[in-house]
Chains A and B, each alone.
Chain A
Amino acid sequence: MKLHEYQSKQIFSRYGIPIPKGHVASTATEAKQIAEELGGRVVIKSQVLVGGRGKAGGIRLAKTAKEAEDLATQILGMEIKGLSVRKVLVDEAANIVQEIYLGITNDRSAQRPVIMGSAAGGVEIEEVARTNPEKIIKIHIDPLLGLRDYQARDIAIGIDLPKEYWKQFTEICRSLWRAYVESDATLAEINPLVILKEKQLMALDGKMLIDDNALFRRTDLAEMRDVDEEAAIETEARKYGLSFIKLDGQIGCMVNGAGLAMATMDIVKLFDGEPANFLDIGGGASADKVAAALRIILSDKNVKAILFNIFGGITRCDEVARGILSALKEVKTSIPMVVRLVGTNAEEGRQLLADAKMITAETLVDAAQKAVAAAKA
């Protein structure tokens, strides 16, 4: 789950990391009031869950409260990478001497957390990694020991941070580590961390990604989810515990298991079809869940054919068949459906569907070819 900049910075602030004074506004009038309280000179920052806000014109400096109002009006009407801007963060403008990057993330290949620092702050770290990888200092952290102060100092030394800031920097690293651990983050990033003219370090921007699997114990964070930022259909799917991703093709896919779901999409493409979605109904899915999944697929008007590929193990093919039938009672449709059932109770499943006028298939190749042909007919 992605958090907005303002949410991430609030969390950082709770752990003692200095952030600019500021508030969130959803109207230009609110933005103006906040700017007045902050003395007029502010930064208006669009709050959308994508990178590249600055380049898109979604982050602007205002010198007066009036200008803040005008800029907020502009930004609140913008769309950035397909997402409408619904909120802006109005932050007191800072007097920046230097921009630093500081982040903690999970390093998959090392199977450990890693803390990264760079003197080339303010630009995306992936960009720095491509152009100047030597400018990124990385130190792996023992997950049982946690971040040690010497490791934070090693980052400070590595990025040539002046000695007078080492103490502040170490404290910020320690706080960022705690925020990362106690939020079950997969990324906690400050970019930029700035040196102010006032000789202070401050987190001007913040980004956090939270592990979805840990939200059960981070209920306060789970409530921060911004459902406006995802496709409504994906929100609906999550309610039923379905793993669903909408794509642009015409062939709806319902599969049990994530790997098999991907392989099913791939084979559709191999035979010149385009998958309309990724959908994993999970292991041991009930008829209710299957019915919900089918309703979700059918709500996509691009769908011209549906391919069911069920390899029964814990999932019982007869249960899946019952779910399909119950959904078809509610939603009348003439969309052709291709069904391939293999494994646990496959024969019972096929018998249940015998009257439902579905196209049956034995192999995955056969199923994919039939689905592609049906979508084009």
Chain B
Amino acid sequence: MSIFVDKKTRLLVQGITGNEGLFHARQMMEYGTKVVAGVTPGKGGEWVLGDKVPVFDSCRAAVDATGANVTVIFVPSRGAPDAMFEAADAGIPLIVCITEGVPVQDMMRVREYLDQKHVRLLGPNCPGLLTPGETKVGIIPNNIAIPGNIGVVSRSGTLTYEVLYALKQKNMGVTTCVGIGGDPINGTNFIDCLDLFEADPRTEMVVMIGEIGGTDEEKAAQFIAATMTKPVVSFIAGQTAPPGKRMGHAGAIIEGGAGTAADKVKALEAAGVKVARYPEEIPSLLE
């Protein structure tokens, strides 16, 4: 079992003819993901990736022709909101948006619209998801995780790779790794993923990687205390971050005294979560 994506995933890649879209579409195919179609307006009718993947002008046309049920977006930030609206209108139930730098007001409108249509969004500004040995949707490197019983959810990209790599070094495997993204307004939060991991029979433990900014980790701590039976281990980045400064991610900022790493660690520890002091300490806390 896994969450969100599995062998039945039929993937559409929006922005497939761009550098990043094409590179990662190939990587995903090599991983075993069924990449069934791409969309680039104006390039409909072309074929890419060794003539294996057809390109369409619109999501609607791609879905009608190929039955795509998940889409991943590599469209630049100016066009990403439109790409998300289009995917939702084409009836795709799961959208993964890799794009970084989407204006926050656009994201609030996207989020509102997608909620009304009951469409699940992951991201934006996220590395996507990986179900090791089965399917990859996004940009997580192909060789850094093995199948296993640990669910991973994270607001970060490379920090997540660091954790997956540390787990693999100890021969510890993963059910699904979900990157929810580093933006202040995103589609899916920690609680959504924790809830799914709790229900997933193969997941026995969960690693949650948070960072400064917002209160999602605190809310997750409440959820863990009230609902979770599976052990959760966490790491929170940004202990040394100064207040009022945006630490790279649009959402990683301590504002008005709220969103500090110390508050998040305290809330998680109070909920019985073991919090690692550094990423490489995580495997030992899972043992």
Contacts and interface: CB of A to CB of B under 8 A. Distances in A.
B86 interface: no
A281 B277 CA distance: 24
B165 A311 contact: yes
Contact of A342 (B139, B165, B238): B165
Contacts of B238: 262, 266
A313 B139 contact: yes
Interface string B59-95: 0000000000000000001100000000000000000
A30 B211 CA distance: 48
Interface in B89-113: 101-106, 108-109, 111-113
B184 A259 contact: no
A83 to B, nearest CB: 13
A359 B277 CA distance: 24
B161 interface: yes
Q: Counting chain A CB atoms within 10 Å of each CB, which of B113, B154, B280 scores highest?
A: B280
Contacts of A167: none
A323 B162 CA distance: 22
Contact of B108 (A112, A284, A311): A112
A313 B113 contact: no
Interface string A246-288: 0100000001111111110111111000010010100110000
Contact of A260 (B77, B111, B162, B257): B162
B240 A186 contact: no
Contacts, number: 169
A363 interface: yes
B113 A144 contact: yes
Contacts of A111: 108, 111, 185
A343 B141 contact: yes
Contacts of B256: 126, 129
B177 to A, nearest CB: 13
B279 interface: yes
Contact of A259 (B111, B139, B249, B257): B249
B104 A186 contact: yes
Contact of A311 (B102, B113, B158, B184): B158
Interface string B131-149: 0000000011100100000
Contacts of A363: 280
Contacts of A29: none
Nearest to B238: A262
A278 B241 contact: yes
B104 A258 contact: no
B155 interface: yes
B158 A259 contact: yes
Q: Is the interface of B mostly helix, strand, loop or mixed?
A: loop
Contacts of A312: 141
A142 B105 CA distance: 11
A280 B248 contact: yes
B156 A259 contact: yes
B44 interface: no
A334 interface: no
B271 interface: no
Contacts of B41: none
Contacts of A126: 256-257
A269 B240 CA distance: 7
Q: Is the interface of A mostly helix, strand, loop or mixed?
A: mixed
B77 A265 contact: no
A108 B161 contact: no
A314 B138 CA distance: 11
A259 B237 contact: yes
A344 B141 contact: yes
Given A311-B162, A343-B161, A365-B278, A258 B248 contact: yes
A263 B185 contact: no
B185 A314 contact: no
Given A108-B184, A262-B238, A263-B237, A278 B248 contact: yes
B2 to A, nearest CB: 21
B157 A259 contact: yes
Contacts of A344: 141
Contact of B248 (A211, A261, A269, A311): A261
Contacts of A217: 78, 103
A342 B144 CA distance: 11
Contacts of A260: 156-159, 162, 237
A211 B156 contact: no
A219 interface: no
Nearest to A315: B158
Contacts of B185: 106, 108, 111
B105 A211 contact: yes
Nearest to B108: A143
B252 interface: yes
B182 interface: yes
Q: Counting chain A CB atoms within 10 Å of each CB, which of B77, B155, B184 scores highest?
A: B184
Contacts of B139: 283, 313-314
Q: Counting chain A CB atoms within 10 Å of each CB, which of B105, B113, B249, B251 scores highest?
A: B105
Contacts of A150: none
A213 interface: yes
A261 to B, nearest CB: 6
Contacts of B144: 343
Contact of B237 (A143, A181, A262, A368): A262
Interface in A168-200: 181, 184, 186
Contact of A262 (B78, B105, B113, B211): B211
A144 B256 CA distance: 28
Contacts of A214: 103-106
A259 B104 contact: no
Interface of A: 106, 108-109, 111-113, 126, 129, 142-144, 181, 184, 186, 211-214, 216-217, 243, 245, 247, 255-263, 265-270, 275, 278, 280, 283-284, 311-314, 342-344, 363-365, 368
Given A112-B108, A258-B157, 4 more contacts: A108-B251, A216-B78, A257-B158, A260-B162
9 contacts: A109-B216, A111-B108, A113-B108, A144-B112, A255-B158, A258-B157, A259-B154, A267-B278, A312-B141
